[in-house]
Chains A and B, each alone.
Chain A
Amino acid sequence: MTVYLYLSLIPEALVASHLPPEEYGAYLALGSKKRSHGQAVFFKLSDEYARKKIEDSPIAEELRDGRLRRSAYLSIHRVLEHTPVDAIESLHLTTDDGRVLKLDHAGYEPIPGPRFHLYQEFCPITPRVVSELEPRAFAAEITDTSHAVSLPALVFAELVLERLGDDPEANGVDNLPYGGIEHLRDCLRELRAKPGKSTKLVVRHLEQDVLFRTIHRGFFVAGSGGAFRFFPMPTRQELETTHYAWWRSALRSGI
């Protein structure tokens, strides 16, 4: 029986399961008795890495002979930092009614963009920050252990900032779906006023589901030694055509 290995980001955990990603996502979102629901974001790890981890697991036999249930937690602490970035195969975004979108990793090329970026961190911590650094530079900075504040690894996504990306004073940003727009402006103003400061905390931790429609470009994984992986979001047109069922569900998520 095939056993899959997943790295769940909400909450951080390493999970073995007999369910393939689509079914596992639905299971995470809805539970076995369908009485719970909620977003899920998880990585599928490579088969090779999965085999190795499962062999080392104390429940290896139960997993192999199919006795185990739909999910068996192998680890729930500091999982990301112990997972090699190149073992991360695909990212799966699950809406709160169990629809799953698979994102494959792709090469990353920095593109000339706005001065400021808004990042939502997912794992191992969940603050929201604004930064002058583009994603790869931000990833390098946050995992640089020579800094007083650093992380061994991080998963984060860039969020839309619209005109605030260039000008913290910009008008016509009422349509941004974030609470506390004035506080966001203050954070951006502070970055602008202090040239030596590249990043500023906006929200200490994630308090509610992420609106998938606010994801700009995609998700990023930063690991030690400059390891970096990019999972681009499909274009709006692809979402509205190829992935319509997921997109429709994602638009309703959190309502």
Chain B
Amino acid sequence: MQNSAFWLVPAASVLSLGFAAWFFKAMHAADEGTPMMKEIAAHVREGAMAYLKQQYKVVGIVFAFLTIVFAWLAYGLHLQNPWVPFAFLTGGLFSGLAGFFGMKTATFAAARVAHAANQTLDAGLRLAFRSGAVMGLVVVGLALLDISVWFVVLNNFIDDPSATHKLVVITTTMLTFGMGASLQALFARVGGGIFTKAADVGADLVGKVEAGIPEDDPRNPATIADNVGDNVGDVAGMGADLYESYVGSILATAALGAAAFAQIGDAENGFKAVIAPMLVAAIGTMLSIIGIFAVHVKRGASQRDLLNALGRGINLSSALIFIASFFILKWLDLPNYAGIWGAIIVGLITGIVIGKATEYFTSQEYQPTKDIAANAKTGPATVIISGLGVGMLSTVVPVVAVVVGTTLAYCLASGSWDFGTGSIGMGLYGIGIAAVGMLSTLGITLATDAYGPIADNAGGNAEMSGLPPEVRRRTDALDSLGNTTAATGKGFAIGSAALTALALLASYVEELKIAMLHAGQKTMLVAGEAVDIGTATLTQFMTHYEVQLLNPKVILGVFIGSMMSFVFCGLTINAVGRAAASMVEEVRRQFKEKPGILQGEEKPDYARCVAISTAGAQREMILPSGLAVAVPIFVGLLFGVPGVFGLLAGGLATGFVLAVFMANSGGAWDNAKKYVEEGHLGGKGSNAHKAAVIGDTVGDPFKDTAGPSLNILIKLMSMVSIVTAGVNVAFTLF
């Protein structure tokens, strides 16, 4: 009976993709507005697609190269599971597809939302939200499809006499498509982040400094690139990022579930533990669809009504998954199902706490951001100092929430409150499933995330097309609603990244086990005694590889892992500066060679600016992304398994805290500027505003480039280590 429950996963996938297609068709059937609106939308669409084409070309080359390497490791050196090259490819492909469909939808939706907002606020909300829902449902639909297909394929092709071991092999093999997803997500986030900020900063600087025109004025050649940037960064990048988080959390938990029951040879419960996270995600997807339909407002609704409508959708989905997950686990009859359900609830609460803390530290409604704005009175230096301070302090709640959440999830799932190592497998499974719980309603939370940039783009289109100012006010209202509701979604994304990375650490050990068995090793020495690898516990593996703090290789790894986060941020932040400089040069050239642009007599060459920003992003994303792949391999070759553990632990601890700091500092600077622009402390054009603008410009690459990429970096390093575990087992210098 429970075996057939698995088919709920592909069913949820088909349902999700079906609704996404329906929403897309409905959006596409809507009127795109005036010829001017259509023309601007077409420019943005062309630019976005040109960017994606170039991005996928570069990523395709990297994927082809890595696939050949993995094929050589698998078929040439026999150090790796033969499925890895294929799984790696499909992970990347589906992640790329999620970004592609999201961007296609967003670029089609912008003008239509602007046109709808020209009629009423609620018409704008409905269209923007349904368009965002396409993105949310495509991401979860493709993820569940990829998981289902691979599970079915591997279940049929992997032949292993031990049912428990077969499950471990299936789930650890599936984890490797997580690497494809992570790598694609990193490229999308880093490339998109560099593009969007280079275009934004370039358009802003050159418009104001060179010609005194606003960034979203049609006379500004960089304005279309700026709009394209919103799509490639906030939509395609976010889509690929959350696809990676979603599959990463499900697959890591499934792998931990298989491992937990493999130790005691319980295949039946092992299978249940594997499909439990998939089922929670599948039911969560269905409940997200219900939540999406709950978001509706009456004609003439106020902004408060709209906010309530969005909240109603998210809260309904969350409440339903709260109840449904209990019955799923009870029906599966997993041992200690109540404890595992407790872990899911802990995950949901942790996500909400992080989201609320994020909102508190970054919203202009609260004191920290108001304090940063107040510091603008004394100049940009004090804005920067206070923003850095607020960002650093903002790490307290997320870190404490993750610590408490991890503790509770571990203890509840293991059924033991003393962190006993006897049930470590179930404890780690609890941590993984807590992350799954957070992301289970991704279908709707991502809809609220993605709808913000759509509304923002609709505002840009309205502005450039010369629609009445109330249209811009309506799209601004929609955008601002999105920012409020998206805070919770961001909390879930950050929290789940930390928990998933923690779960991936344990999955790395499972992969080591598979690699050792694959290499023909049956036993290993633990404290002088031979232990059977097949039944060895996680603790025995750690003892065998001497993963302890007194081992200098671990400490060296920790240092390198911590450094990686900073090097990665440094590279991406500098990349924004360089790419923005190229954009400034290009716009300067166009103004010089075509003086009629500023008088509105000549059309700027928008495509050239898009091409410049694209080339800059592609060029600049290679080094940081390459480092994220290469460093775990080199650390493994140099310092072996202890070094890799140190690297992952250092990368996780530093990367998580740094990501929160950068995202919150950047967000707080952005909203401090908005607070001043609302008319406080002198308002627009005042000295305080000039100082706040500088803070916002500094924060842009923090919050939109480096910060969001860090979450992927920490998981990608884990994924690379998992995929290359066989190499670590076979070769190490020290």
Contact = CB atoms under 8 A, between A and B. Distances in A.
Q: Do A and B come from one complex?
A: yes
Interface of A: 26, 29-30, 32-35, 37-38, 95-98, 174-179, 209, 211, 213, 240-241, 244, 248-249, 251-255
Contact of B679 (A175, A249, A254): A175
Interface string B688-719: 11100100000000000000000000000000
B373 to A, nearest CB: 10
Given A26-B599, A37-B212, A213-B683, A244 B469 contact: yes
A214 to B, nearest CB: 9
Given A35-B591, A97-B211, A211-B683, 5 more contacts: A34-B595, A177-B687, A209-B685, A213-B684, A248-B214
B210 A255 contact: no
Contacts of B377: 174
B429 to A, nearest CB: 53
A174 B680 CA distance: 7
A252 B595 CA distance: 23
A35 B210 contact: yes
A34 B591 contact: yes
Residue of A29, A35, A97, A211 with most chain B CB atoms under a 10 A cut-off: A97
B371 interface: no
Interface in B652-681: 679-681
Contacts of B212: 29-30, 37-38, 95-98
15 contacts: A26-B599, A33-B595, A34-B591, A35-B592, A97-B217, A177-B683, A177-B685, A177-B686, A177-B687, A211-B683, A240-B469, A244-B468, A251-B685, A252-B214, A255-B689
Interface in B201-225: 208, 210-214, 217
Contacts of B687: 177, 179
Contacts of A97: 211-214, 217
Contacts of B592: 33, 35
B726 to A, nearest CB: 57
Contacts of B693: 255
Contacts of B210: 35
B682 interface: yes
B591 to A, nearest CB: 6
A19 to B, nearest CB: 11
B74 interface: no
B598 interface: yes
A69 to B, nearest CB: 15
A37 B591 CA distance: 13
A240 B473 CA distance: 11
A249 B469 contact: no
A249 B598 contact: no
A161 B209 CA distance: 30
A255 B598 contact: no
Contacts of A26: 599
A30 B598 contact: yes
A178 B689 CA distance: 11
Contacts of A209: 685
Contacts of B682: 174-178
B680 A252 contact: no
A179 B376 CA distance: 12
Given A30-B598, A98-B598, A211 B211 contact: no
A29 B599 CA distance: 12
A88 to B, nearest CB: 27
Interface residues of B, number: 29
Contacts of A29: 212
A1 to B, nearest CB: 20
Nearest to B219: A97
A96 B681 CA distance: 23
Contacts of B211: 30, 34, 37, 97
A254 B233 CA distance: 29
A97 to B, nearest CB: 4
B241 to A, nearest CB: 32
Contacts of B468: 241, 244
Contact of B683 (A33, A175, A249): A175
B709 to A, nearest CB: 29
A95 to B, nearest CB: 8
Contacts of B591: 34-35
A208 to B, nearest CB: 9
A110 B212 CA distance: 37
B235 to A, nearest CB: 26
B192 to A, nearest CB: 27
Contacts of A248: 214, 469
A53 to B, nearest CB: 28
Nearest to A179: B687
Q: Which 4 A-B pairs have the closest CB atoms?
A: A37-B212, A177-B682, A177-B686, A254-B685
Contacts of B684: 211, 213, 251-252, 255
A96 B210 CA distance: 11
B681 A249 contact: no
B208 A255 contact: yes
Interface in B574-599: 591-592, 595, 597-599
Nearest to A249: B214
B463 to A, nearest CB: 8
Contacts of B679: 175
Given A33-B595, A244-B469, A255-B689, A175 B680 contact: yes
A174 B688 CA distance: 11
Residue of B680, B684, B689 with most chain A CB atoms under a 10 A cut-off: B684
A24 to B, nearest CB: 13
A177 B687 CA distance: 7
Contacts of A95: 212
A255 to B, nearest CB: 6
Contacts of A244: 468-469
Nearest to B588: A35
Interface in B466-504: 468-469
Contacts of A241: 468-469
Nearest to A33: B595
A73 B693 CA distance: 38
Contacts of A32: 595
Nearest to B684: A251
Contacts of B689: 177, 255
Nearest to B693: A255
Contacts of A178: 682, 686
B685 A255 contact: yes
Contacts of A35: 210, 591-592
Nearest to A210: B685
Contacts of A211: 683-686
Given A33-B595, A240-B469, A252-B214, A175 B681 contact: yes
Interface in B292-324: none
Contacts of A30: 211-212, 598
A174 B681 contact: yes
Contacts of A96: 212
Contacts of A174: 377, 680-682
A26 B693 CA distance: 26
Given A30-B598, A35-B210, A97-B212, A213 B680 contact: no
Residue of B679, B685, B688, B693 with most chain A CB atoms under a 10 A cut-off: B685
Nearest to B469: A244
Nearest to A95: B212
Contacts of A175: 679-683
A91 to B, nearest CB: 20
A132 to B, nearest CB: 25
Contacts of B686: 177-178, 211
Contacts of B217: 97
A159 to B, nearest CB: 13
Contacts of A240: 469
Nearest to B677: A251
A167 B690 CA distance: 29
A182 to B, nearest CB: 12
Contacts of A98: 212, 598
A62 B579 CA distance: 49
Contacts of B595: 32-34
Nearest to A23: B599
